Amino acid sequence: MKTFIIMTLFVHLCSTRLLLAQEDTSLEQAVSQLDQAQSVTDYEGLATTFEQLANKQDSWLPPYYAALCYVKIGFLYQDEGDRIEPYSTRGKERIDQAIALIDTATGKKDYAEALVVQSLVYRINVYINPMTYGPRFGPLSDKSLQQALALNPDNPRAIYVAAWLKYHTPKTWGGDKNRAKELAIKSLALLKKSPQKGIQPHWGKQENQALLSQ
C-alpha cells in the first residue's frame, strides 16, 4: 500500500512538472511570435493565446504580454481613436492582473516591467479623445513611468518610453528630439547586455530603431 501511494505521488509529480514545462514552452513560443508580430490580427491572436495561458498559470508574465498586445493594437489605431477603448479596457484588466501576481516588495524589477506597460495602457487611452482623455490619462501614464524608472533606472523599456515621450512632446511642453534620441541610444545599449529571447521581457530594439530612424 505504501509503495502504491509513493508511486502515485511520483506519477502526479512527474505529470505536474511535464505540464508546467509544456506551459513554459507554449509561453516561450508565443513570446517568440510576439517578437515578429506587426498587424492588429497578429496581436489579437497572440492576446488570446496569452489570455489562455494566464488562466492556466499563476505567473505574471502571460497577463503582462496580453496587456502588451492590447497596447500594440492601441498604437496601431492611434489615428482611429474610436476603435481603441475595447483594447485599452482589456489592457488595463490584464496589467492589473499581472501586478497583482507580483511581490512588489521583492520583485522590484518585475514590478518595474509591469509599470512600463501600465504606463503605455494609460497612454493609448489618450488617443481615444486627446482633449477629453489627455488631462486624465496623460498624468497617470507619466506617474507609472516615473515609478518604473525609480524602481529600475536601467530598465531599457522604461528608458525607451521616456525617449518616445520626449520625441513626441511639443518643445514648448518639454519635448526634445535630440534628447529623445540620446535616450533611445542608451536603451539600445542596455538591451545589448540582456537576453533577446526567452519568456522574460526583452522588447524594445525595434521600437528604439524606429524612433532613431525618424
Same-domain check for residues 108 and 164: no
Is residue 135 one of the residues assigned to a domain? Answer: no
Q: Is residue 211 part of a domain?
A: yes
Number of domains within the chain: 2
DSSP string, the chain: -HHHHHHHHHHHHHHHHHHHHHHHHHHHHHHHHHHH--SHHHHHHHHHHHHHHHTT---SHHHHHHHHHHHHHHHHTTT-GGGTHHHHHHHHHHHHHHHHTS-TTT-HHHHHHHHHHHHHHHHHHHHH-HHHHHHHHHHHHHHHHHHHHHH-TT-HHHHHHHHHHHHHS-GGGT--HHHHHHHHHHHHHHHHTS-SSSSS----HHHHHHHHT-
Q: Select from 63, 94, 128 the last residue of a domain.
A: 128
d(CA 7, CA 12): 9
pTM: 0.88
- Same domain? 180 vs 103: no
Identify the pLDDT of residue 16. Answer: 38
User: Does a structural domain hold residue 68?
Assistant: yes
Contact status, residue 98 vs residue 69, Cβ threshold 8 Å: no
Does 138 fall in a domain? no
Residue 186 lies inside a defined structural domain of this protein = yes
- Same domain for 169 and 87, yes or no, is no
Amino acid 21: pLDDT: 42
Output the pLDDT for position 196. Answer: 86
Same domain for 42 and 99? yes
Per-residue pLDDT at 4: 43
- Note whether 181 and 85 are same-domain residues: no
Q: Which domain holds residue 45?
A: 10-128
What would the grid cell of residue 111 be? 514590478
42 and 89 part of one domain: yes
28 and 81, same domain (yes or no): yes
Does 34 share its domain with 116? yes
Q: Is residue 147 part of a domain?
A: no
Domain membership flag for residue 39? yes
The verdict on 17 and 80 lying in the same domain is: yes
The one-letter code for the residue type at 16 is T
Tens digit of pLDDT at every position of the chain (214 positions): 555 444 444 434 333 343 444 556 699 999 999 999 999 999 999 999 999 999 999 999 999 999 999 999 999 999 999 999 999 999 999 999 999 999 999 999 999 999 999 999 999 999 999 999 999 999 999 999 999 999 999 999 999 999 999 999 999 999 999 999 999 999 999 999 988 899 999 999 999 999 999 9
Same domain, 33 and 87: yes
Are 164 and 214 within one domain?
yes
Q: Return the pLDDT at 23.
A: 52
Is 124 among the domain residues? Answer: yes
pLDDT at 1: 53
Q: How many C-beta atoms lie closer than 10 Å to residue 104's C-beta?
A: 14
Residues 39, 117: one domain?
yes
The whole-number pLDDT of residue 180 equals: 99
